[in-house]
Amino acid sequence: MTNIWKQGELIEVAIADLTDTGDGVGRYEERVVFVPDTVPGDRVQVRLLHVKPKYAHGKLIQLLHPSPHRIRPSCIVADKCGGCQWQHIDYEYQLEAKRNQVIQALQRIGGFTAPSVDPVLTAVSPLGYRNKSTYPVSVSSTGQVQAGYYQKGSHHLVNLNQCPVQDSRLNPLLAEVKQDIQKRGWKIYDEQRHQGQIRHLGLRIGRRTGEMLLTLVVTEWKLAGITEQAQEWLQRYPQLVGIALNRNPERTNAIFGAETRTIAGVPYLKEKFADLEFQVRPDTFFQVSTETAEALLEVIQSELNLQGDEVLVDAYCGIGTLTLPLAQRVRQAVGLELQAEAVEQAILNADRNSIHNVTFQVGAVENLLPQMGIIPNVVILDPPRKGCDRTVIDSLLRSKPARIVYVSCKVATLARDLKLLCQGGTYTLTRVQPADFFPQTSHVEAAAFLVL
């Protein structure tokens, strides 16, 4: 019989696995214990925090015996900052853990036996890869303007002057723009009292072009001296091409509001992706790791082996990041996207690259797909984290395109949707290619290939 365990109790645990949110998992007297900041192979002393009959969440108190996969983090605030969960885990093991996460989800949720999952596509570098960062802004107890990420599990801000996972060319802006905000006397937003002006600092860079955008998320458009300050920033940072304000007046956790205005320079940066030129705005969705996204696209192109006579539909197409390179290899391509602004940019990007065999439609994929009137040979699915609406799955099972590529940023919903598509033998899952878009975190992307 197992003993009763209590909140606050100290126990010793051997860590054996990682969850898909990045926490270590150990067992204690037949029960599961989740411990952040640990690595499989660690033996640790843990204080129990939230105790349930069959499992508990604990806090790492002491590392009794370190795992061979444990390394010294390359960031001095890695133990505090909530931006990364895995800086203490060596990169090879991170990749192994991510592949395992994909396999586990496909087996447990999808019901697939021995799914074919390739080794994870790696980032060019596990550091300095992010082309976009958005930092909450706050005021320290001594009145200094700060920007950084929240401490793990709290709303306490860890002030950063550089971040090892973002493109290092953005670091000077992170360090210096806070001081300019301080000098201007702009009020920092207080979420408890819902007062103040500046909520977030957004930085974005074209990895290939070096062009940068700086965005302040504000509660109101009126910001004394912003035009003058924007001109100062343009002069100080030669690579900075645009400064924007995004207005978010709501009590919400969402970072961006609905409207963005350019204060100085241009409203977008130019980026090269798959030998095409894209315009990327401050609030546009564009993959955070340019090079890994390109590597995944190459795998998709190679696996599809397009002959030039296909009709391709790209559902959840965004600004055409996948649609446009694939359109060059097919007879006709159609992009479906809910966000009208993204479609506007996709059309501009198609024109900019002289790609004329592609059309884009605005609307929910679950509404557009069933009424398209064409049966595509290939469908690309790249839905948000929640996965595909059931209507989308049903529509595909009715129209039966010969091939489906499902690109996913959450393997649990990928496995759920693949199960539905493969039930009854309609589709067969041939292979899954995971990709590491977010090194130092537990996130993993994956492209799954289905054939009729």
409 is catalytic: yes
The token duo for 386 is 């929640």
Token pair of 198, please?
């500046």
Please state, in angstroms and rounded to a whole number, the distance separating the CA atoms of residues 148 and 159. 5
- Single out the catalytic residue among 81, 163, 409, 422: 409
CB 292 within 8 A of CB 325: no
CB 338 within 8 A of CB 392: no
Rounded CA separation 215/198 (Å): 11
CB-based contact 328:320 (threshold 8 Å): no
Whole-number Å distance between alpha carbons of 236 and 133: 20
83/81 Cα distance (integer angstroms): 6
CA 359/CA 350 separation, integer angstroms: 9
Give the C-alpha distances (Å, rounded to integers) separating 66 from 14, 37, 93, 432: 10, 12, 14, 33
- Write the single-letter amino acid at 256: F
List, by residue number, the catalytic residues. 409
